[in-house]
Amino acid sequence: PTPRTLLLTGAAGGLGTLMRSLLPEYGYELRLFDVRPIEGEPDAITADLGDTAALRAAVRGVDAVLHLAGISLEAPFEKILRSNIEGTYNLYEAARQEGVPRIVFASSNHAVGFTPAPGAGDPLIPIDTPRRPDTFYGLSKSFGEDLAQLYWDKHGLETVSVRIGSCFAEPADVRMLSVWMSPADGARLFHAALTAEEVGHAVVYGSSANTRLWWDLGTARALGYEPQDDSEQFAGKLIAEHGELDPENPAHTHLGGRFVNDPPIWPY
């Protein structure tokens, strides 16, 4: 059954804003949470993930959580620790205490960002490839996936961890042709993750059905996800602008792209 009330953390962010417009079509009533206020949304909860009382009130009575809040790029370890590691722990504790049955966790390709991108004819990267974070940011997503596994094994709280590629209106560079997830496919995948039965802790890659896909969407499809989009329509323009991927440039040859150079070791 479709969960009715959904807590959307990170609702003020880029992906949160996209999902605020797309998810209601799937029948969700959204409760919004972000440390930043959201214009035109007086009922949104404006609080930090460090505020455990606010979090506990926010999750009370919801059918599920789509957890997007957190730092979304590389940052000093202390900041990642607070927002992404402690913040995600605080959310899971609040959800456990309030009996929320399922969380969809915005993990990231950067949990496996140091994995070499497959060449032509190589097999796609499987979902059980060893974790290879490319940043403290990616490390926090790796932590989030393990936290989700712990809360499933110990407390029966279900999670779908979605290793999102690049979810923007359009891919912005040639790497993104391989990892792009259209916003419409993002909504399809989150909906599948929220409604599939008996997921336990499932880990999936989050992207469209791109011609240049780098990873295996099998576990996402097993949830009922049927991607409809392909980045190939943007390939001509992006390759004319940036050239083909350079096999000598680490930022072009790893799943995580330029994050492998953060702090930069290559001019990109």
> Of 156 and 228, which has the nearer Cβ to ligand NAI?
228
For residue 248, the minimal CB distance to ligand NAI (Å) is: 26
Q: How many CB atoms lie within 10 A of CB 236?
A: 9
CA dihedral over 67, 151, 99, 63, signed as positive or negative:
positive
Name the binder of 257 from ligand NAI, ligand 15L, none, CB < 5-8 A by kind: ligand 15L
Which of 67, 110, 201, 252 forms a contact with ligand 15L (CB under 6 A)? 110
Write down the least CB distance from residue 138 to ligand 15L, Å.
8
**What is the size of the binding site for ligand NAI (CB under 6 A)?**
23
Name the residue whose CB lies closest to ligand NAI: 13
Does residue 268 have an active-site annotation?
A: no
- Residue 103: strand pairing partners: 65, 159
Binding to ligand 15L by CB under 6 A, coded x per residue (else -) over 206-245, reads ----------------------------------------
Phi-psi region of 66 (alpha: psi -120 to 50; beta: other; left: phi over 0): beta
Residues of this chain, 89-108, that bind ligand 15L according to CB under 6 A: 108
**Pairing of β 201-206 and β 64-67:** unpaired
* Whole-number Cα distances in Å, 168 to 21, 62, 102, 150, 161: 14, 27, 25, 31, 19
**What letter does residue 257 receive in the DSSP assignment?**
G
- Per DSSP bridges, beta strands 29-34 and 45-46 are parallel
DSSP state of 36: S
Instruction: Exactly one of 28, 89, 92, 137 is catalytic; name it.
Output: 137
β-strand 102-108 against 158-164: which pairing, if any? parallel
Q: Whole-number minimum distance, CB 63 to ligand 15L, in Å?
A: 26
Query: Residue 265 binds what, of ligand NAI, ligand 15L, none (CB under 5 to 8 Å, by partner type)?
Result: none
- 83 binds, options ligand 15L, ligand NAI, none, Cβ within 5 to 8 A by partner type: ligand NAI
* Of the residues 66, 106, 193, 260, which one makes contact with ligand NAI according to CB under 6 A: 106
Instruction: Name residue, tokens 């409604």.
Output: 195
Chain-centroid distance, C-alpha 128: 17
19 forms part of the interface with ligand NAI (CB under 6 A): no
Rounded CA-CA distance 13/182 in Å is: 16
Q: Which of 65, 145, 69 is nearest to 100 (CA)?
A: 65
22 sits near ligand NAI (criterion: CB under 6 A)? no
| Footprint of ligand NAI on 228-267 (CB under 6 A) | none
Residues in contact with ligand NAI, shown as a per-residue x/- string from 141 to 180 under the rule CB under 6 A = -----------------------x-xx-------------
* Residues with active-site annotation: 137
